[in-house]
Structure 1
């Protein structure tokens, strides 16, 4: 009979681990009167506070104002057997850094206190918004060129053998134009989908080189236009070179396009390193726009100008902003009608040891 091998006895840890401060979930322990007895570093960071500043206060009444009354009501209800709150959404405005979307759950603890659990669902909400954008683009924006193709192809089919050659050419031209429009929109929708992805293998990127490259492409595509294009040398960012070229391309192309009424296109790309950030500016002397409508500029399919003024599918600047956000940066704009527009781009700069000589 073989020897019986006893399983090893589990060894108890020397000290118990308090997981409160080691979870990715935001946590706070609340007293029945709403005072925060304890809060972990994750939740404090989401609220842009230190844990010490939150403990000993009813912090939710200032930091989570939209749901503060619900939290207080749920705390009061525990004495009567209430079950708390479950997955309550709240949005925190972080100013220029955008909004943070949170989801709250409040459950009772033994002894009368309550546990507040907070999940950051900002990325999920951004993905839901992206899905809505794509659905709108497919169902609404793409419908117009498809309808044009269908209508003029049907008219062509009805012409018969005695069709007028000029009419046929006109219909074919319209069909081709609509097909080009549909193809461009599909490409832009795919770009929008990819733009929010994190940078692939980030590294030092020569922004000045990319700027010169894009400006050369713009001039090659429109050689008849007089242009004064200036790119400051020695500008370096940290990120995905392909994505940053795409970002700059959207902004420079926008500057070129809305300078159509000018005798000479004037565009400047300059900037400077400030600490660990690169601050860039793309300036043009084009038609500009009324800053009252600036909040529309980065919203997909929201155009400030009509097609006759050079407006495209309305996704270019939205894609640029998504690319900036994916790099931990952002874009803001200043403009004046008939004076010009300046885009301010904030991006990570290379670590000091990777920065190329300036």
Structure 2
């Protein structure tokens, strides 16, 4: 036994098989000589062509046969029961057993006819040499139907078919041979007497039966080769007088065999063979292939019985596969309904999917899944790393451009996937957006499999002529297949497509809701900003009056007021000035939402240096250690960005007052098309439970008496950053400092390809 290990099923380059596909196997121009063939005019039934061996059957020379009518050749007694051939033969070319005829004192011959265009092909071949089974062939079919109805699975069905066909025909070996999607054949059932080797569970390469041969098996369900060493009988004349070309013998049982197939049979050690096609929903599901060590003729009646057995097998296989497919589709629909409910209740479809991993994985029986959307990458179960998934999604978006993509050998299409083949050799993915690499991906792990082949699947090419030969050895040849996963079922691929449509519907509905909400929000914001501006503007004058009159009262009545009463005046003045600052900041915040951005190039290194000097000028005597890293140049409104930076640096200096030495770090990191700036201090920090209040208007986490301020500074920072297309957030710990982050777009940063 030879052994071989490889990453793919076909690991060696094969010769070009086009010569096989171009071979005129349906118009060979000759027949097998165990019978005779006549080509008749479809109207007059005159003989247009005969096989070269016809004189042996009819007792007349070929010149006498050509041009004669069929009645005169067979004689009235044999001809009359045939009746009107034109009415009896179906237009689709299906062969029909007409009757048994006897010419002179010769043996009984089965007359089999079929139509080919405007001519009729009549074949005469020997009938049964021995009586059939007791009671005829009907009990065979009935018994087989009873057996297959109780068979639990397709493998048992195939085994029953192999046993029954061999019993009917008497061949040494009967194989049930199923075709895989790539054309590879797998022996799924076998019965034999031990004279020929067993090929149970073996595979045969697609090149053993070329495409046009498979097409012919689909059109003509029965094929008999009684003697591999036959001498072909040519058709005379070679060209049909009606069509002017060779006659199509696709449906002829006597059709001559391709020389390559004859050589294949000899190499396989078989002298006779018969194949019966198993058609599922009109497609070639497989073959029942029989072999014998010596020449063997199988009568038409027995062949027809095998054809009926194959049809029963096909119906049973189809019924079981349809039932299994229906059950799987019902299961998928049930899970899909739950996923839709999850997504509908969630803020977005990504959260809805990721929050229910059991349904997301069970939906298509995957080991892992990922959702890539808006820069987020959520992983569930057994998956590649986040960065690997992101690159895979980018490849799908850039190269595949399909709504639904699936493969059971990912590394063959995407070589980088070999790094994580153990986790993701199978991929099923749906694209959610045509503008961005947004997708839902499911993964299946590698399944390492040892495959048994019926001989080395490679073909040999003659060095001098380049003629294609079938392989000479059928000794078991083992191969270890890697980087492949369990294939995705059509129902699973279809279910993924339905999920994609559902996600698109949810996204569209959310977008419509957001659009309507945005319109209403814009209107409310305009009203609120107008109200804020009006209130703030109207408050400024009364507050100035309060401060002015309080200072005047304090000055005029200083000698008349006690120390406590003067303190009251100071409190009035101080509170009014604070209220004035609140009004000024509120006006600035309102203007920030209405002002048009005056974009320009801003060097953050220069901006931070200038703002740092201004902040330190207001904090005389403070010991501050600044740690400032390299900062980028950005596009933005200089005045707004200055205000944002000023608020962040002022806060850092303010909240580090309790420290003997304040340490303030300013830095930036650039990736994924954005600059992320941070300002970190060693100050009093804050409780992360209240981080959402930091950026709200008038929200403070510390007492005003401890740290002065109005509570609008960070609200301004967030509004400025968001108007520049970024976001702001903070992290901190009580008494261990705080870090404030803000992002700004980096349009010139090359995204990873």
Does TM, normalized by the shorter one, top 0.5?
yes
CA distance in 2, matches of 1:341, 1:199: 32
1:293 Cα offset (Å):
0.5
User: Given the alignment of the two structures, is residue 50 of structure 1 paired with residue 449 of structure 2, yes or no?
Assistant: no
1:249 Cα offset (Å):
0.7
Which residue is 2:523 aligned to?
Answer: 124
CA distance in 2, matches of 1:223, 1:312: 18
CA distance in 1, matches of 2:528, 2:537: 14
CA distance in 2, matches of 1:200, 1:62: 31
Which residue is 1:329 aligned to?
Answer: 726
CA distance in 1, matches of 2:593, 2:527: 12
Q: How does 1:144-293 map to 2 (within 5 A)?
A: 146=543, 149=546, 153=550, 156=553, 163-164=560-561, 166=563, 169-197=566-594, 200-293=597-690
CA 165–350 in structure 1, closer or farther in 2 if over 3 Å, else same: farther
Q: How does 1:103-122 map to 2 (within 5 A)?
A: 103=516, 120-122=519-521
Structure index of larger Rg: 2
Instruction: Judge conservation of contact 2:625–2:664 (CA < 8 Å) in 1.
Output: yes
Which residue is 2:107 aligned to?
Answer: none
Match for residue 313 of structure 1 among 710, 714, 720: 710
Instruction: Judge conservation of contact 1:156–1:168 (CA < 8 Å) in 2.
Output: no
Deviations 1:148-191 (A, max 9, x none): 948x949949x969613745653443343234213211220121
CA distance in 1, matches of 2:537, 2:713: 16
CA distance in 1, matches of 2:624, 2:577: 28
Instruction: Judge conservation of contact 1:236–1:350 (CA < 8 Å) in 2.
Output: no
* Structure 1 moving runs of 4+ over 6 Å: 51-55, 132-139
Instruction: Judge conservation of contact 1:288–1:339 (CA < 8 Å) in 2.
Output: yes
Which residue is 2:22 aligned to?
Answer: none
Instruction: Judge conservation of contact 1:284–1:341 (CA < 8 Å) in 2.
Output: yes
CA distance in 2, matches of 1:51, 1:350: 21
Structure 2 residue ranges without an equivalent (≥5): 1-372, 375-431, 436-496
Instruction: Judge conservation of contact 2:680–2:740 (CA < 8 Å) in 1.
Output: yes
Which secondary structure state, in structure 2, belongs to the residue aligned with residue 307 of structure 1? coil
Between 182-191 and 327-336, the greater mean CA deviation after superposition: 182-191
Which secondary structure state, in structure 2, belongs to the residue aligned with residue 318 of structure 1? helix
Structure 1 residue ranges without an equivalent (≥5): 1-46, 68-88, 91-100, 105-118, 354-358
CA distance in 1, matches of 2:622, 2:551: 39
Task: Normalising by structure 2, report the TM-score.
Answer: 0.30
Instruction: Judge conservation of contact 2:631–2:667 (CA < 8 Å) in 1.
Output: no
- RCO comparison, higher one (Cα < 8 Å, 6+): 1
Which secondary structure state, in structure 1, belongs to the residue aligned with residue 645 of structure 2? helix
- Superposition RMSD in Å: 4.0
1:57 Cα offset (Å):
4.0
CA distance in 2, matches of 1:161, 1:294: 46
Which residue is 1:22 aligned to?
Answer: none
Task: Normalising by structure 1, report the TM-score.
Answer: 0.60
1:234 Cα offset (Å):
3.8
1:271 Cα offset (Å):
0.4
